[in-house]
Amino acid sequence: MGVQKFGSFLSGMIMPIIPALIAWGIITAVIVNVNEFTEGTAATDAFGEIIGPMIHFLLPILIAVQGGKMIYDVRGAVVGATATFGVIIGSDFLIAQANAALPEGADELGQIHMFIGAMIMGPLAAWVIKRLDALWEGKVKAGFEMLVNMFSAGITAFLMSVVGFFALAPIVNALMDVLGAAVRFLVDTGLLPLTSIIIEPAKVFFLNNAINHGVLTPLGISEAAAEGKSILFLLEANPGPGFGVLMAFTVFGVGAARATAPGAALIQFAGGIHEVYFPYVLMKPALLLAVIGGGATGVATNALFDSGLRAPAAPGSIFAVLIQTASDSYLGVTLSVILSAAVSFTIAAFILLASRKRDLQAEDSFSDAVARTEAAKGKSSAALAGLAAQAVSGEAAGRINSIIFACDAGMGSSAMGASVLRKKIKDAGIEGVTVTNKAVAALPGDTDLVITQQQLTDRARGQEPEAIHVSVESFMDAPEYDEVVELVRSRAEVGSAQPAAVGAGAAAPAASEPSGSATGGILTLDRVRIHSGSATRDEAMAEAAAALEAAGAVTGDYLAAMHEREETVSTFMGNELAIPHGTNEAKGAIKASALSVARYDDGVDWGGQRATFVVGIAGVGDEHLQILSRIARLFGDKATVQRLKEATSEEELLELLSAVDEG
């Protein structure tokens, strides 16, 4: 899991700058072709000067900006980017010194582009300024905050650039020399195809990002800058191996896997979303042989034809691969995709045929494989969620009468999600379906469908092994809700001959769908705040906990329980709403039901998501669920959220929060 998180972090720095890499690749290709087929002009020659500074300065700095922002928002981005210049200039200084010491006539060393240096220095410098800010937080006299903030960041950026110049640049230069020598050894000895033994299984378990973005992309960019192309961009991005496996399932698979494989193949090959083929491999680990064989075939073909890409192909779609293919590499790249798909198809076909009889008699495990893939990824995926929805739709039809939203405490987020889905089901004209919420530990064991956030799905499966499980990223605006509604509708139509378990009124339990709009003492004006600026997540949580404590609803221990809840599962709900609250074990810190609402006009970075509204929750029994149900209705509509953002006073905001049509 640590490697997956590290790889995801590296991917988070690289993926946002891929458009800049694509632009650099296009500019390089245009200038090369102009110079190759025409004499060029002074203007094109001058424009061509953009290539070097882009690869050497712009792209590493963009990486540093993104890495710093991931650690400490814009402040971290500025400090991280500034410090990274020290690493770049330090590397250039070392290269210049080495070239000056070479004997006359010897080949000089080329520049080392500081992609790895930026991946290290950007987050590191941001982390340093974040820690320093924490040291004097709340200790600066009023009126001196801006002065301290500006000079502390500037001094930190200066000091970290010195560290980059003298300490980090030599380390990164040495590391790039070692990695470059290792790649040259593999190429010269013809062993490069063996990298598929590591890369292809790593992809299936989402371990590849550390290899791809931490090693292959920086080395590939350096090689492409010098040679105009790199084979390294194709080690992981080739869509052939996954496509071959999916086509084998299309022809020789059984059950839900066979039914979903054609659609998955289109998404993977044309859309470049490789993760959709991972569940098929996880169903039968022997299929790792198929993707390894296909991957090695593709690498060997590209090595034989000396083919490569000008820049990374992201996502790994056949279209992205062909767009980035160097002008002299179309034959090799095209053959590598075709042959790798053919080899993986052949191996997968043998494996599927060998176990076909057993598969036909066994219970279809495709849904479990999708769930394991989602768990390995560590976060939700629209592509995998769609695959899961197709899988459960293809299983034996049975009417869905009960749906439970489950969260860690059953206190707030699940109640709001239940309210949103309940309304969608009602609007769809579906009757006889109860939608309630509970803590995961309180699931009864006989539910038809359970909805949880990704991190809690495995726990929910242990409580409800026979239920259909749907994982969502946020409870307010999850796209999976529409798929659930369609699944419930289709099951209702298939099972229409069966008597409904409950009447239409059961879709709206009294505890969650009260009538009227008065907020009573649960949410009062003194616990509604509007802030013109922003805050950190910790600051917003502290304000919410303080408001609840001042209302006599919680003890001083409740803030720690809020932090514990965030470490387990984020309370960001979607549509700019976060609802921090304690864990199920924190019930002892709650004395009464109460809510607090704070609006931060410049937003709160809530684990990478922007929250404008922060609703603190403390709940005893079901009292607070009445207002949460109304708030869920409000935040389920983006137009209403906009009106809440435009409220000019706490009184107006409270009125909007209270006046919800429950009809």
- More confident call, 259 vs 647: 647
- Residue 60: pLDDT band by 50, 70, 90 thresholds? very high
- With 80 as the cut, is the pLDDT of residue 371 above it? no
Segment 457-471, tens digit of pLDDT: 778 877 887 788 887
* Percentage above 70 pLDDT, the chain: 82
- pLDDT for residue 384: 58
> 324 vs 659, which has greater pLDDT?
324
User: How would you classify residue 609: left for phi > 0, otherwise alpha for psi between -120 and 50, otherwise beta?
Assistant: beta
Does the pLDDT of residue 268 top 50, yes or no? yes
Query: Is the predicted pLDDT of residue 567 greater than 50, yes or no?
Result: yes
Can you give the pLDDT at residue 246? 94
> Residue 143, by phi and psi: left (phi above 0), alpha (psi -120 to 50) or beta?
left
- Residue 69: predicted pLDDT: 92
What's the pLDDT at 661?
Answer: 41
Of these ranges, 29-43, 88-102, 134-148, the one predicted with the greatest mean pLDDT is 88-102
Which pLDDT does position 376 carry in this prediction? Answer: 60
User: What are the tokens at 21?
Assistant: 């890499």
Interval 514-565: pLDDT, tens? 433 444 567 888 889 999 888 999 999 999 999 988 888 889 888 888 888 7
Among 148-162, 324-338, 407-421, which stretch is predicted with the lowest mean pLDDT? 407-421
pLDDT at 569 over 80: no
- pLDDT tens-digit map of 153-165: 999 999 999 999 9
**How far is the C-alpha of 358 from the C-alpha of 246, rounded, in Å?**
20
3-state class (DSSP) for residue 108: coil
Would you state the pLDDT for residue 468? Answer: 83
* Distance between CA atoms of residues 531 and 600, nearest Å: 5
Which residue matches tokens 């598929």?
196
Average pLDDT over residues 309-336: 90
Mean pLDDT of the chain: 81
Residues with Cβ within 8 Å of 414's Cβ and at least 6 positions away in sequence, in order, are 405, 406, 407, 437, 438, 439, 475
Judge whether residue 80 has pLDDT over 60: yes
Lowest mean pLDDT among 46-55, 368-377, 407-416, 425-434: 368-377
Q: Which comes out higher in pLDDT, residue 285 or 2?
A: 285
pLDDT over 80 (residue 404)? yes
Yes or no: say if 405 and 421 are a contact pair by the CB < 8 Å rule: yes
pLDDT at 360 (0 to 100): 53
- Beta bridge partners, 405, equal 437, 451
- Are the C-beta atoms of 427 and 488 separated by less than 8 Å? no
- The three-class DSSP label of residue 518 is coil
Q: Taking residues 20-37, what's their average pLDDT?
A: 76
CA dihedral of residues 599, 604, 606, 612 (deg, nearest 10): 30
pLDDT at 81: 96
Is the pLDDT at 663 greater than 60? The verdict is no
Give 506: exposed, middle or buried? Use CB within 10 Å, 0-12, 13-18, 19+.
middle
| Residues 86, 163 contacting (CB under 8 angstroms) | yes
Q: Give φ, ψ of 299 to 5 degrees.
A: -65, -45
Give the model's pLDDT for residue 30. 79
Q: Which residues are catalytic?
A: 407, 581
pLDDT of residue 269: 93
In 254-293, which positions are buried (b, 16+ CB within 10 angstroms) versus exposed (e)? bbbbbbbbeebbebbbebbbbbbbbbbbbbbeebbbbbbb
Greater confidence (628 vs 559) lies with 559
Closest CA to 337 of 349, 321, 326: 321
Average the pLDDT over 283-304 and give the result. 93
Give this prediction's pTM: 0.55
Mean pLDDT is lowest, of 435-439, 483-487, 619-623, for 619-623
Residues 6+ apart with CB under 8 A from 149: 75, 133
Statement: residue 88 has pLDDT above 90:
yes
Per-residue pLDDT at 649 exceeds 70: yes
Least confident among 253-262, 405-414, 479-488: 405-414
349 touches 251 (CB < 8 A): yes
Rounded Cα gap, residues 406 and 19, in angstroms: 39
- Binned at pLDDT 50, 70 and 90, residue 15 comes out as confident
Cα 407 from Cα 104, distance rounded (Å): 70
Measured CA to CA, the distance from residue 119 to residue 64 in angstroms comes to: 6
Higher-confidence residue of 128 and 212: namely: 128
Closest CA relative to residue 632, chosen from 398, 476, 471? 476
At 116, which amino acid appears? I
pLDDT value at 496 more than 90:
no
Q: In this model, does residue 472 exceed pLDDT 90? A: no
Give yes or no for residue 504 having a pLDDT over 70.
no
Please tell me the least confidently modeled range out of 191-195, 217-221, 420-424, 618-622.
618-622
pLDDT at 634 over 70: yes
Burial of residue 147 (CB within 10 Å: 0-12, 13-18, 19+) is exposed
Is 70 exceeded by the pLDDT of residue 3? Answer: no
What value does the mean pLDDT take over residues 360-379?
Answer: 58
pLDDT of 395 reads: 47
Q: Tokens at residue 365, please?
A: 């495990």
Q: What is the pLDDT of residue 511?
A: 38
Q: Sign of the C-alpha dihedral, residues 187, 190, 192, 195?
A: negative
Q: What is the pLDDT confidence band of residue 501, given thresholds at 50, 70 and 90?
A: very low
CA gap 321, 330 in Å, rounded: 10
Q: Mean pLDDT: which of 90-99, 136-145, 426-435 is highest?
A: 90-99
The pLDDT value given to residue 516: 39
